[in-house]
């Protein structure tokens, strides 16, 4: 213990020194008021590099070092949350990043396959103090004993699983299990599907995979950012601290309803409307509806345009020919519009020239090319002509087009149209967001002026970056990284002088100077993410998948889900159905089978629900622990009073309790619960929260009280029953569903 404490103290001293160095470097750089480009360049490079380091150092503050590997060949490594090197000339690793290849036996070695290990040690710390050691002997011929050999090899894991919840998910670097490690480090770069029952660690594993990928492919992913999609804001809040605790900040967390910049989805759809809006056919329906917006005057009822040089007649034929020419461009609507406009202007010019320059005696037109050009100019700037063009081929924004469409839905059955119809200008819903995105694709954006500006800006940035390269010094951007020489991606340790390409440097500078890649990604509908993680992926509609696939042209994705937890109204069918349009069968599948959250006693009760409903292919995960505490059910006369009484009795002294109840009951229940608000997004860090079954998705609490289970659908009930890490109680006034009657 003393030895480890000494080591850990030394490690923190080094961390402090590094942090101080980085801080003063930032301060000094910021204080520089040097004139001219050179000073500014140096400052920007320095600030960007050191700020990245600082984020990682902050992450290292808690649980900096948690393991030690002693190999049979004498190698001896400490494993930590981030890698740190000594200040010596060789920059010897002091503690190895958990993501480095050399740290892998920490997670995978077993007595059967020791991977060269003699001893594996778990080091538990509180702040900077070492509080416990757990040793495992992997070489059975080794007779040395330290007195810390654990009787139960899973002691550290079980302690983590038993600990009181805080309302925020924690990282699991100290206790990643072998089946999880294989997923976290899966070499597959395309779509990886991770399935598993409740509590099997799908979410936490996906987040660690993001951290791993950011480490293994930092150059690419730091620039393109990682997107994590989760079902609702409370869930995103719940998982928001995991990646920062691992030193990673280049990640954007978003719900599907937040993926269209500039639109906030505040409305809600009926299940029927969400179903219709989510269907893949909506892509074709919108395309057809957009063609309908490319109109023609009725034959025989032309548009008459007043013009200085006389009346212009825009008839069916002129409009038809212009429309065919514009459609033949096969461009998005707004980008094809200039073709339509030019054709109309040309035709009207010809019409006017014919009328003005017409020789009544059959000779050639009196007007020369210059006169005709002049006429054309007059027509091209005529507001009346433009109004007519706008009427036939309107310039549309995605918002306007979808809003118009939902007010008058077409190309749908009467029933479906009735489900989605709404008054113009209504609030956007999450299911509208993929429609808006689809519309944006169909419409396109005439951004030629913007692009010209951006290109000029880029040229300036490249010139600037060239300057940076000239003054850059051989400092390590990520000095704490400790990739072994043998790592396939050993080149990840970035040296400023490695970045020989001024264009790439310009891109990096752009990020450093202004916003992070994640921030820029959040504001850019066409951003291509380096990797996307989708949690509760089974919930997404076909249209939402179209949107997500557009955000990830490389198809580097980790999709996490559990079909048994799919809510009835959303979701598409199988992974194959979801993925085959995008990646055919080039995706990999991994399954997690151990439930780390819910004790066996609770899992047994919960599993009855899908089983009784005959959910096809249902296979409950096996719980890693049992608590000996059985779930209970109580029939009460006054529901609100019964719930309040149970909350008072069951609220843990530390930890969290959730009351899961149908939304309609929230007002009544909240009235009896002190300081527990009804409605809105729950604050999960409070000791007691009131949520509905949909909000419970992905979350967990020490104690869960499920109210009126007979009112839930199968999957919602299954989700609600599998949220507790310790205790589960059920309160009801109406009879229990058959799958739960054995509890009464």
Token pair 């060949």: residue: 73
Residues that bind ligand ATP (CB under 6 A): 157, 160-161, 169, 172, 175-177, 180, 196, 198-204, 562, 565, 596-597, 698, 700, 722
User: CA dihedral in degrees (611, 613, 615, 616; nearest 10)?
Assistant: 90
Say if CB 609 and CB 598 are below 8 A apart.
no
Tokens of 250: 């280049």
Residue 691 backbone dihedrals phi, psi, to 5 degrees: -135, 160
561 vs 642, beta carbon nearer ligand ATP: 561
Cβ atoms < 10 Å from Cβ of 708:
19
Query: What does the alpha-carbon distance between residue 576 and residue 701 come to, in Å, rounded to a whole number?
Result: 33
Buried b (16+ CB within 10 A) or exposed e, 125-163: beeeebebbbbbbbbeeeeeeeebebeebeebbeeebee
C-beta contacts of 58-62 below 8 A and 24+ residues apart: 58/19, 58/247, 59/244, 59/245, 59/246, 59/247, 59/248, 60/15, 60/84, 60/247, 60/480, 61/15, 62/127, 62/245
Q: Cα–Cα distance between 174 and 79 in angstroms, integer?
A: 9
* Residue 197 marked in a binding site: yes
Cβ proximity to ligand ATP, 180 vs 739, nearer residue: 180
Q: How far is the CB of 725 from ligand ATP (least distance, A)?
A: 7
Nearer to ligand ATP, 239 or 336 (CB): 239
Alpha-carbon span 561 to 538, nearest angstrom: 5
201 is in an annotated binding site: yes
Nearer Cβ to ligand ATP, position 64 or 169? Answer: 169
Please report how close the Cβ of residue 204 comes to ligand ATP at its closest, in angstroms.
4
CB 731 within 8 A of CB 636: yes
Nearer of residues 379 and 534 to ligand ATP, judged by Cβ: 534
Residue among 212, 195, 270 nearest 430 (CA): 270
Least Cβ distance, residue 76 to ligand ATP (angstroms):
25
3-state secondary structure of 557: strand
Cα end-to-end distance, the chain, whole Å: 51
- Minimum CB separation of residue 134 from ligand ATP in Å reads 14
CB closer to ligand ATP, 239 vs 670 = 239
Minimum CB separation of residue 239 from ligand ATP in Å reads: 8
Least distance to ligand ATP from the beta carbon of 288, Å? 38
DSSP 3-state of 722: coil
Q: How many residues does the chain have?
A: 744
Q: How far is the CB of 28 from ligand ATP (least distance, A)?
A: 40
The minimum distance between CB 180 and ligand ATP, in angstroms, equals 6
The three-class DSSP label of residue 680 is coil
Residue 196 assigned ligand-binding role: yes
Residue 181 or 438: the one with the smaller Cβ distance to ligand ATP is 181
**Secondary structure of 314-361 in the HEC alphabet?**
ECHHHHHHHHHHHHHCCCCHHHHHHHHHHHHHHHHHHHHHHHHCCCCC
User: Which one, 177 or 714, has the nearer CB to ligand ATP?
Assistant: 177
> Given the complex with ligand ATP, which of 46 and 207 has the nearer CB atom?
207
By beta-carbon proximity to ligand ATP, the closer residue of 203 and 726 is 203
- CA atoms of 595 and 196, how far apart (whole Å): 9
- β-pair partners for 486: none
Measured from the CB atom, the residue of 174 and 339 that comes closer to ligand ATP is 174
At its nearest, how many Å lie between ligand ATP and the CB of residue 285? Answer: 33
CA nearest 524: which of 252, 258, 261? Answer: 261
Q: Is 72 annotated as a binding residue?
A: no
Question: DSSP labels for 98-166?
Answer: TTSGGGTHHHH--SSS-TTEEEEEEEEEETTEEEEEEEEE--TT-----S-B-SSTTHHHHHHHHSPP-
Among residues 243 and 282, whose Cβ is nearest to ligand ATP? Answer: 243
Q: In sequence order, what are the residues at sequence separation of 6 or more whose Cβ sits closer than 8 angstroms to the Cβ of residue 223? A: 507, 508, 511, 517, 530
Helix (H, G, I), strand (E, B) or coil at 254: strand
- Smallest gap from Cβ 626 to ligand ATP, in A, equals 15
Shortest distance in whole angstroms from residue 192 CB to ligand ATP: 15
- The CB-of-104 to ligand ATP minimum distance in angstroms stands at 15
Q: Which residues are annotated as a binding site for ATP?
A: 196-203
Binding residues: 196-203
């Amino acid at each position: 213990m003393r030895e480890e404490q000494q080591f850990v103290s030394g490690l923190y001293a080094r961390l402090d020194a590094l942090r101080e160095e980085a801080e003063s470097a930032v301060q000094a750089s910021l204080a520089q008021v040097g004139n001219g480009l050179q000073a500014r360049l140096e400052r920007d490079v320095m600030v960007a590099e050191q700020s990245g380091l600082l984020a990682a150092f902050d992450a290292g503050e808690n649980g900096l070092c948690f393991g030690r590997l002693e190999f049979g060949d004498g190698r001896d490594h400490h494993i930590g949350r981030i890698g740190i090197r000594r200040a010596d000339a060789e920059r010897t690793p002091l503690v190895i990043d958990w993501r480095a290849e050399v740290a892998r036996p920490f997670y995978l070695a077993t007595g059967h396959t020791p991977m060269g290990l003699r001893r594996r040690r778990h080091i538990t710390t509180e702040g900077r103090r070492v509080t416990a050691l757990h040793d495992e002997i992997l070489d059975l011929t080794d007779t040395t004993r330290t007195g810390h050999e654990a009787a139960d090899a899973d002691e550290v894991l079980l302690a983590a699983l038993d600990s009181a919840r805080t309302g925020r998910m924690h990282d699991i670097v100290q206790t990643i299990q072998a089946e999880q490690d294989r997923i976290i480090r899966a070499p597959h770069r395309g779509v990886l599907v991770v399935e598993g029952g409740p509590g099997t660690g799908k979410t936490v594993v996906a987040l660690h995979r993001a951290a791993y990928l950011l480490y293994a492919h930092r150059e690419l992913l730091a620039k393109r950012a990682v997107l994590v999609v989760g079902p609702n804001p409370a869930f995103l809040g719940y998982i928001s601290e995991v990646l920062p605790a691992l030193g990673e900040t280049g990640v954007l967390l978003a719900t599907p309803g937040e993926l269209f910049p500039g639109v906030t989805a505040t409305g809600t759809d009926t299940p029927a409307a969400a179903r219709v809006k989510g269907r893949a056919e909506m892509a074709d329906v919108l395309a057809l509806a957009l063609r309908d917006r490319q109109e023609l005057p009725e034959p025989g009822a032309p548009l008459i345009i007043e013009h200085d040089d006389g009346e212009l007649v825009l008839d069916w034929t002129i409009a038809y020919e212009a429309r065919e020419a514009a459609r033949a461009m096969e461009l998005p609507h707004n980008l094809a519009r200039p073709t339509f406009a030019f054709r109309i202007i040309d035709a009207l010019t010809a019409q006017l020239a014919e009328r003005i320059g017409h020789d009544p005696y059959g000779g050639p037109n009196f007007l020369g090319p210059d006169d005709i050009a002049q006429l054309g100019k007059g027509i091209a700037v005529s507001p009346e002509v433009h109004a007519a063009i706008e009427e036939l081929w309107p310039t549309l924004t995605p918002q306007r087009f979808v809003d118009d469409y939902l007010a008058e839905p077409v190309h749908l059955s009467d029933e479906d149209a009735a489900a989605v119809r709404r008054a113009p200008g209504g609030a956007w819903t999450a299911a509208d967001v993929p429609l808006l995105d689809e519309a944006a694709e169909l419409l396109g954006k005439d951004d030629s002026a913007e692009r010209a500006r951006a290109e000029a800006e880029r040229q300036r940035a490249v010139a600037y970056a060239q300057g940076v390269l000239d003054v850059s010094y051989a400092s390590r951007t990520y000095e704490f990284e400790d990739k072994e020489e043998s790592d396939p991606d050993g080149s990840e340790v970035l040296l400023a002088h490695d970045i020989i390409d001024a264009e790439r440097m310009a891109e990096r500078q752009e990020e450093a100077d202004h916003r992070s890649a994640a921030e820029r990604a959040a504001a850019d509908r066409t951003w291509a993410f380096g990797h996307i993680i989708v949690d509760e992926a089974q919930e997404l509609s076909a249209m939402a998948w179209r949107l997500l696939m557009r955000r990830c042209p490389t198809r580097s994705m980790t999709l996490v889900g559990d079909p048994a937890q799919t809510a009835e109204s959303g979701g598409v069918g199988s992974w194959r159905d979801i993925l085959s349009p995008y990646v055919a069968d080039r995706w990999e599948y991994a399954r997690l089978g151990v439930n780390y959250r819910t004790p066996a006693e609770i899992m047994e009760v919960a599993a009855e629900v899908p089983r009784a409903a005959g959910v096809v292919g249902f296979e409950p995960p096996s719980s890693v622990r049992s608590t000996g505490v059985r779930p209970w059910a109580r029939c009460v006369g006054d529901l609100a009073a019964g719930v309040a009484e149970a909350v008072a009795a069951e609220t843990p002294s530390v930890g969290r309790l959730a009351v899961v109840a149908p939304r309609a009951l929230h007002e009544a229940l909240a009235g009896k619960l002190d300081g527990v608000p009804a409605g809105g997004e729950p604050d999960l860090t409070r000791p007691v929260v009131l949520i509905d079954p949909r909000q419970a998705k992905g979350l967990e609490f020490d104690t869960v009280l499920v109210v009126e289970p007979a009112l839930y659908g199968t999957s919602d009930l299954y989700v609600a029953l599998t949220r507790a890490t310790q205790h589960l109680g059920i309160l009801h006034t109406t009879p229990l569903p058959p799958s739960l009657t054995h509890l009464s």
